[in-house]
């Protein structure tokens, strides 16, 4: 590096009248200019090349920009502060936004729940742990169990099995038992809050609760207590659900490795549960809680739900408030339920969704779960992803996926072939990297990223560092490509209401996380090694009720979602 020469009178004059693109930091501080070699090297990293005269002109601007970066770093803000930009999946569809808002005000805009009939209490108390949310609600309504009993059962099972699964960060025993007793008193007095009343559950430990640590699964935040209540947790309280534990996540919402080790898959405890909603999926799969809350930015509900053989619902971006949740990507983060059935997932979503006055991305939209007739739906399938090429090796997973289509056809569903857009979504993933690096800039600048357990190339510390080299120009170009992808996806839903897809097929998982579309992932069988497999149903924006209706139809004709791993 070399120090800038004093500014000449001519250059200083140009600065004053604004004809020379140099900021005041350079004029006032004489900021150190980058060398020509540095500019050449930096441009090369970005795939650019500038002539010598162009580089000479760049030098002062680059020094000025660097001074701006340093000034911004002096005022680092908390993770909870979002940028003055926001993603809107309905951005270019204002007519749809208007229709949704109008429909949300209609009398039938909310879900309609009919608890299952003929539910009997199991002979063994431990079998209570495997009943669905609806079944437990039916028993609670009839007084055949109590919230205190179910809560003690969940707490005991979490304690008993956590040494094997490593799915719990904090047990909330005192709080949970107090709230369970209150729920029982309300029920005895004739006050029933809905299907979640008295049902124990867990939440992923990136949701803030002021009376417990919120660790984000990461060593630098192990003792962090945030003085706020996440909207999702508050709404679970208001619905009468009993939060019994804060469950594990891969550090800063990637993978299944956190500061306490690796969260395990109940179907194969030698294997991680995948992530990042690792503890939520593991705990539900092992029958430790009837449901849990997960989050997804790029597969963090779909992947662990697949690995652990449970049902996951990733809602539309803007359906559920992220207030009080750790921010990873402001334009991609979503919060949703992990359960043992699609109907259970709909019950949970109904309780946690909707505007809260804190998260400006959340929109009012109808959710008619329980009112949608699956026979009325136009159902597509990604035909090329279910096809087998001539001469290809046997693929047990693809066989399971094709069997799903057979079940739907037998149910009278006419399947319409559709295809994903040809656009490659992976270059757009730089948006996630850039936003995550901004959300956790303090770790990179302080060097505390070294405290994270995973220090390999494909882990956050390296991604945060590499993201420093993503130009703002390219971030915006990715955002423009993203809008085109949104338009292309809207065209799919001109022809169908829901489509069926292999859960990880054809880049669709990243595409729909970029466009904000909802997805329900359900188990559809087991591979030869005993591992659960899954299929997914994807719907139009804010059409989770339709997606759930089709998924429930499929689950009602199979039974994969009722299977239990041995030893739990």
Active site residues: 204, 276, 300
Q: Which of 358, 334, 276, 344 is nearest to 310 (CA)?
A: 344
**Pairwise CA distance, residues 265 & 274, whole Å:** 8
β-bridge partners, 502: 535
β-bridge partners, 245: 171, 202
β-bridge partners, 416: 380
SS3 sequence, 388-399?
A: CCCCCCCCHHHH
Do residues 216 and 253 make contact, with C-beta atoms less than 8 angstroms apart? Answer: yes
What 3-state DSSP class applies to 538?
Answer: strand
**Pairwise CA distance, residues 101 & 124, whole Å:** 47
Q: Hey, what are 307's tokens?
A: 């690995």
> How many Cβ atoms from other residues are within 10 Å of residue 303's Cβ?
26
**Pairwise CA distance, residues 503 & 438, whole Å:** 30
SS3 sequence, 28-57?
A: HHCCCECCHHHHHHHHHHCCCCCCHHHHHH
What 3-state DSSP class applies to 272?
Answer: strand
**Pairwise CA distance, residues 499 & 405, whole Å:** 11
Q: Which of 83, 436, 80, 440 is nearest to 228 (CA)?
A: 80
């Amino acid at each position: 590096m070399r120090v800038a020469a004093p500014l000449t009178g001519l250059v200083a004059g140009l600065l004053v009248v604004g004809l020379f693109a140099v900021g005041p930091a350079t004029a006032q501080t004489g900021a150190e200019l980058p060398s020509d070699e540095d500019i050449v090297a930096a441009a090369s990293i970005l795939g650019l090349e500038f002539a010598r005269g162009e580089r000479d002109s760049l030098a002062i601007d680059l020094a000025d920009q660097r001074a701006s970066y340093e000034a911004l770093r002096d005022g680092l803000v908390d993770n909870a502060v979002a940028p003055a930009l926001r993603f809107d999946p309905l951005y270019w569809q204002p007519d749809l936004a208007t229709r949704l808002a109008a429909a949300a005000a209609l009398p039938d805009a909310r879900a309609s729940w009919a608890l299952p009939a003929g539910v009997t209490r199991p002979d063994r108390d431990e079998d209570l742990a495997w009943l669905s949310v609806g079944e437990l609600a039916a028993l609670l309504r009839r007084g055949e169990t109590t919230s205190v009993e179910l809560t003690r059962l969940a707490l005991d099972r979490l304690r008993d099995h956590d040494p094997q699964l490593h799915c719990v960060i904090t047990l909330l025993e005192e709080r949970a038992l107090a709230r369970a007793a209150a729920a029982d008193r309300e029920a005895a007095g004739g006050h029933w809050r809905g299907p979640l009343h008295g049902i124990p559950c867990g939440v992923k430990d990136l949701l803030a609760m002021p009376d417990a640590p919120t660790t984000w699964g990461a060593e630098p935040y192990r003792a962090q207590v945030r003085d706020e209540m996440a909207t999702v947790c508050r709404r679970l309280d208001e619905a009468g659900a009993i939060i019994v534990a804060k469950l594990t996540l891969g550090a800063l919402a990637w993978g299944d490795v956190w500061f306490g080790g690796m969260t395990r898959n109940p179907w194969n405890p030698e294997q991680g549960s995948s992530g990042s909603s690792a503890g939520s999926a593991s705990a539900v799969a092992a029958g430790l809680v009837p449901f849990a809350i997960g989050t997804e930015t790029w597969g963090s509900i779909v992947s662990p739900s697949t690995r652990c053989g449970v049902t996951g619902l990733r809602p539309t971006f803007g359906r559920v408030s992220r207030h009080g949740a750790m921010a990873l990507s402001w334009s991609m983060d979503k919060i949703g339920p992990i359960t043992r059935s699609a109907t259970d997932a709909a019950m949970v979503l109904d309780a946690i969704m909707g505007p809260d006055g804190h998260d400006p991305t959340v929109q009012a939209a109808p959710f008619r779960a329980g009112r949608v007739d699956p026979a009325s739906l136009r159902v597509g399938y990604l035909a090329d992803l279910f096809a087998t090429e001539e001469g290809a090796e046997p693929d047990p997973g693809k066989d399971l996926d094709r069997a799903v289509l057979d079940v739907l056809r037998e149910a009278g569903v006419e399947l319409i072939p559709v295809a994903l857009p040809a656009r490659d979504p992976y270059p757009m993933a730089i948006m996630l990297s850039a936003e995550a690096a901004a959300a956790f800039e303090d770790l990179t600048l302080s060097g505390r990223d070294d405290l994270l357990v995973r220090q390999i190339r494909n882990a956050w510390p390296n991604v945060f560092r590499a993201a420093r080299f993503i130009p703002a120009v390219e971030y915006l170009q990715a955002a423009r490509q993203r809008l085109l992808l949104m338009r292309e996806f809207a065209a799919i839903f001109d022809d169908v209401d829901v489509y069926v897809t292999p859960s990880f097929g054809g880049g669709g998982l990243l595409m729909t996380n970029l466009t904000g579309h909802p997805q329900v992932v359900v188990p559809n069988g087991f591979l030869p090694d005993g591992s659960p497999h899954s299929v997914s149903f994807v719907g139009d924006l804010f059409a989770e009720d339709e997606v759930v209706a089709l998924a429930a139809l499929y689950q009602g004709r199979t039974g994969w979602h009722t299977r239990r791993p041995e030893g739990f």
